[in-house]
């Protein structure tokens, strides 16, 4: 099943014009619990997913559904609170629409966050993993189909999906908030079933450190489009067969809730580092003045 480009046109037209005024420095796709740092910020503009044609409200408990344009630390940020998943069965369009809309806005940096199961024994519930690489176990991705203008070449290079400089900023942000960040490989599964213990042993053998049902469609497309991309997981449980007999979404939500203060502090510290670096570089070149805005 390939994407329908007409859906993207309609979606872009539905967004308030402010989103396209000038390119946001950073896009964020925030899984459950990750959006708290920004949810109190008064947006310049916002739109509910259900008002974006082709997007639609998330069917998953714990996933809010809105896109907001914000000022944070003197720069424009576009934040997606909640996401659609491949397992919801609505095709790739709603899953990757946030990235496509950000591409059209001219977003240069993207941070995608999620909850994941720990495979590596160093990644216990409450730990954070920055994605060094991923394994797509689904055997499908949103670029299957005709070449979409703006989505890079027919065969995009994926040898460095996760940008080194953004990984470094996330490492610094983790130090700023006093938490540890482990680098690792994320295995993307289709869901909605959790994995079997045999699958987890297989993914461990393939080099995966954590497993989850999201993120890779978005980061695959973003990197193909030339957007500097980073991924961040909060480990909410040990993967199937590693500890405990059962897995459930409620456990994931409960662990996410516990970790929320650190998750939001981490996102905020990352934005501060990114914005400061950008503003210092821009002022150094004497080209861009600090942007005035409503936020901090």
> Can you give the binding site for ligand HPA, defined by CB under 6 A?
115-117, 189, 194-195, 211-213, 236-237, 239, 247, 252
Residue closer to ligand HPA by CB (options 77, 115) is: 115
- 160: nearest Cα among 239, 91, 61, 226: 226
| Nearest distance, CB of residue 202 and ligand HPA, angstroms | 14
| Nearest distance, CB of residue 200 and ligand HPA, angstroms | 8
Residue closer to ligand HPA by CB (options 92, 194) is: 194
| Nearest distance, CB of residue 116 and ligand HPA, angstroms | 5
| Nearest distance, CB of residue 37 and ligand HPA, angstroms | 21
Residue closer to ligand HPA by CB (options 112, 275) is: 112
Residue closer to ligand HPA by CB (options 2, 243) is: 243
Residues belonging to the active site:
32, 63, 85, 87-88, 115, 213-214, 237, 249
Q: How many CB atoms lie within 10 A of CB 272?
A: 17
- 78: nearest Cα among 57, 58, 108: 108
Residue closer to ligand HPA by CB (options 24, 31) is: 31
Largest CA-CA distance found in the chain, in angstroms, rounded: 59
Q: What is d(CA 147, CA 154) in angstroms, rounded to the nearest whole number? A: 6
| Nearest distance, CB of residue 191 and ligand HPA, angstroms | 6
| Nearest distance, CB of residue 1 and ligand HPA, angstroms | 22
Given a contact cutoff of 8 angstroms between Cβ atoms, the answer to whether 219 and 29 are in contact is no
Residue closer to ligand HPA by CB (options 137, 158) is: 137
């Amino acid at each position: 099943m390939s994407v329908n480009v007409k859906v993207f046109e309609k979606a872009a037209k539905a967004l308030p014009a402010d989103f396209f005024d000038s390119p946001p420095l950073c896009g964020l796709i925030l899984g459950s619990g990750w959006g708290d740092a920004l949810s109190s910020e008064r947006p310049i503009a916002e739109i509910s997913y259900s008002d974006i044609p082709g997007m639609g409200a998330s069917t998953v408990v714990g996933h809010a559904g809105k896109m907001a344009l914000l000022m944070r630390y003197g720069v424009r940020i576009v934040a997606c609170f909640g996401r659609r998943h491949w397992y919801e069965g609505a095709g790739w369009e709603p899953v990757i629409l946030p990235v496509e809309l950000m591409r059209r806005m001219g977003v240069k940096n993207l941070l995608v966050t999620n909850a994941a199961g720990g495979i590596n024994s160093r990644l216990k519930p409450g730990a954070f993993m920055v994605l060094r690489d991923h394994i797509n176990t689904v055997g499908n991705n949103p670029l299957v189909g005709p070449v979409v203008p703006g989505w890079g070449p027919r065969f995009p290079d994926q040898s460095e999906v996760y940008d080194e400089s953004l990984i470094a900023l996330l490492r610094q942000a983790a130090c700023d908030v006093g938490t540890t960040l482990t680098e690792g490989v994320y295995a993307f599964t289709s869901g909605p079933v959790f994995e079997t213990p045999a699958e987890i042993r297989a993914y461990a053998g393939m080099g995966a450190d954590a497993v989850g049902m999201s993120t890779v469609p978005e980061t695959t497309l973003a990197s193909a489009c030339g957007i500097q991309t980073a991924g961040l997981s909060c480990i909410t449980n040990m993967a199937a067969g590693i500890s405990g007999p059962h897995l459930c979404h409620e456990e994931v939500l409960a662990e996410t809730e516990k970790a929320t203060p650190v998750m939001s502090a981490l996102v905020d510290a990352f934005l501060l580092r990114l914005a400061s670096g950008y503003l210092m570089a821009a002022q150094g070149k004497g080209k861009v003045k600090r942007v005035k805005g409503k936020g901090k």
